[in-house]
Structure 1
């Protein structure tokens, strides 16, 4: 079989994370991608703490990290809980980037990154510190090619998600715990501390961001949603009692505590669910198999891989496969690969800052140590430090969110710092031909060829439209 150079370039950059040579794709780009479908690779590095161990480290923390680590001349003891939690956060970031830069299954890793953003949590919220990496390792990586229902449940009930979206602070108004506070006649301040009432954050985001989509949304790709505010409230009642503890109890990071659960049946989208822990699995099952979920998830996949405004025909194909297979994600990915719309030769997608950094390092064959040094270096300076998305919706996946003049200038500065380190050892002209193939325009090649030195040539390659877009 003869390799189609353009398809090889699309497979390497649109579906993958960039390759120094398109020869890595092989003779059949679609087969190269299909062969990567499955659970994501174990993360590089380790051993890593479990969510339960990270929760234990958080529980032992006695002073704020920033307050301790910013004291001039003060170095935390290696055995201190503050130092341990800081190490967990740094190792999670380092591992995520190292895995993406070095993996031989870049399509699988891109899928992991997509789903980690879909089920986004942020360590900017103190109670999530040390848990973001555990969410990826325990809930996302093993389940990216299984049933969507499994992925949805594992992510929704992970300690990182329960804490990020405040389900620990959700109490059934008529639960035994709430009634006990009333009977004891606690004052208003004590009552507020012990029983904060029903919190709808997790219920809302599972429905709006993780499964059904925004109620009444979808536009040309819809309909999405199909639920009301009353459904969100009822789902929040189903979720009461599910809590992540620090320190963990009996080595369990998550437990269902019946005392905090709202008693009685609940009605969600016209269906009644029983009281108790078993109701959550029933609701998750119905959400995962709802037609709105098939269309919402399919639209996000098509938008991520193909275009900011993907062809409706592609979304329809993905949604049909999702529905007919019962949410089998591997089947959906095969449909994505097999669809002609996915192989359009245009450069429709702008790489996010993280994608830009990862693909740069993959193509150059260099390391990623400078990416994990601190908030104000590397990806922090590019505006997309992993595990710090600005909201539960995750990082934006459309070009207009990343095309401001300041954002572009930050990419230039980042590319220049990298090129100054390695530009004298790399032939940017040869690398451009090998990594971009037929996507490399003659105009871009001539600019690289006429560069004053190796550093400038490499910056021109990394900042070229052909490299910035996929």
Structure 2
């Protein structure tokens, strides 16, 4: 096997995948190994996973608890009623995501799942989304990552988790029946109306973060008009029905103009707008840039971005074709790794390379990923977790990785030959300096820690 083929196998395993204990199975055809994985994501592993309907029922039950906690029954405290608030659901969801990624035989597909889940962020950091994030990932993202972008966009936009996370639950057309009713009731009760009109959060984030990008050519008037299109798309907790997400009473009547095109009132207008956004050249460029940034470099080659955008437009947004173009492009196979693994990626690749796989996540603590600075399903904003290396390279962040690697080394050092594992999992991309440090380690524990902290392992 040539040195180049072995190096490409390491790139395939770590840059496109999630790390492999041995490169031998993919050295003969690294690109073919990746291309064969393109398709819908694996079925999620784990127990106690809720469907979207079940998750909504759980959210309703928790909301009922909170109302009851204001006046708890005799002999019961508010603390007792709220104990474990969402905890079991969120732990099961996070563990399922980690178990699936650690054990999958299709790591390229699972990395794409992580990419799109971050692109369409719904986060536990906002209370309105708690209890729904795992169901959103399983039902809206996982089945659609190799279909068309339009399918993925529609599924994510109309999922109850996204509608609640970005406040479309509270958005009503200023001239809608719901606002008129609220105004009449407020006059009767001599108080200000509680329901006043549009919330633009979802419209703005779809345009800025999900499709066109911040410089994609839209104006504030487009945000406002799109917000009007989105009115009525909501899921109430009084009557949970995931098949009835559009409430015409909350919808703004009349036609709306978005990006120069007029759309009729009603539920179908949203899908028409999303259809046009998915086919917009700015969307192609924005998605191509994000994919190239994720897999290749923080500032990806312009030629690669153009190549991916052209594939997107040529195939009418078929994501599988874009992935194939990415894998086949020589620009994606730069032998010098410049991307840094996020804490989640670092822990997952450690589990896979050390042969721990699901055992790394036997406990429900996420194997310490929170301590490394990244809580699963809890990105700090709708923009998701940063995909730039410098944002994960602070001194404190690096020291936490050293401490984590040291603990893993102490746990596994007596059962693993880190020297052999370094060669098997990294091959020729392991530098002479890193190899010598691992070989000169004082003991097995230190050798494992040095392998995990080697620049060639930390980067992809």
Fold shared by both chains (TM-score > 0.5) = yes
Rate the CA distance shift 1:110–1:254 in 2: closer, same or farther, 3 A: farther
- Tell me the residue number matched to 1:99: 100
Residue 181 (structure 1) aligned with residue 182 (structure 2): yes
Normalised TM-score (structure 1): 0.91
Identify the residue that residue 211 of structure 2 maps to in structure 1: 211
Greater mean alpha carbon deviation, residues 182-191 or residues 359-368: 182-191
Contact (CA 8 Å) 1:371, 1:378: kept in 2 or not? Answer: no
Matched residues in 2 for 1:189 and 1:448: separation? 72
Query: Structure 2, unaligned stretches of length 5 or more?
Result: 70-76
Once superposed, which parts of structure 1, at least 4 consecutive aligned residues long, lie more than 3 Å away?
62-65, 80-85, 186-190
Question: Quick one: which of 310, 314, 337 aligns to 1:320?
Answer: 310
CA drift at 1:245: 2.4
Instruction: Choose from 264, 267, 290 the match for 1:300.
Output: 290
Residue 398 of structure 1 corresponds to: 388
Distance 2:348 2:286 in 1: 27
TM superposition shift of 1:159: 0.9
Does the 8 Å contact 1:58/1:81 carry over to 2? Answer: no
Is 2:133 the partner of 1:132?
yes
Once the two structures are superposed, the pairs formed by residues 13-92 of structure 1 within 5 Å of their partners are 13-46=14-47, 48-61=49-62, 62-63=64-65, 83=84, 85-92=86-93
Is 1:191 paired with 2:168? no
Residue 446 (structure 1) aligns with: 436
Q: Give the equivalent residue in structure 2 for 1:220.
A: none
Give the distance between the partners of 2:189 and 2:390, measured in 1 at CA: 51
Cα deviation for residue 368 of structure 1 reads 2.5
Counterpart residue number, 1:242: 233
Q: Cα–Cα, structure 1 residues 188 and 348, in superposed 2: closer, same or farther, change >3 Å?
A: farther
TM-score by length of 2: 0.93
1: CA distance between counterparts of 2:301 and 2:335? 14
Q: Tell me the CA shift for residue 24 of structure 1.
A: 3.1
> What is the aligned partner in structure 1 of residue 223 from structure 2?
232
CA deviation after TM superposition for structure 1 residue 121, in Å: 1.1
Give the C-alpha shift of residue 427 in structure 1. Answer: 0.6
- Write the distance in 2 (CA, Å) between the matches of 1:342 and 1:189: 61
Displacement of 1:55: 1.2
Shift in CA distance, 182/238, structure 1 to aligned 2, threshold 3 Å? same
Contact 2:52-2:242 within 8 A present in 1 as well:
no
Residues 186 and 285 (structure 1), Cα distance of their counterparts in 2 relative to 1, 3 Å cut: farther
Q: By how many angstroms is 1:48 displaced?
A: 2.0
2:327 pairs with 337, 347, 352, which one? 337
1:191 deviation in Å?
Answer: 1.4
Structure 1 alignment gaps of length 5 or more: 68-73, 217-224
1:372 matches 2:374 = no
Structure 1 window deviating more from structure 2 (198-207 vs 178-187): it is 178-187
Taking the aligned partners of 1:418 and 1:24, their CA distance within structure 2 comes to 26
Indicate if the aligned counterparts of 2:158 and 2:245 stay in contact, CA closer than 8 A.
no
1:409 matched to which residue of 2? 399
Provide the aligned length of Structure 1 versus Structure 2.
448
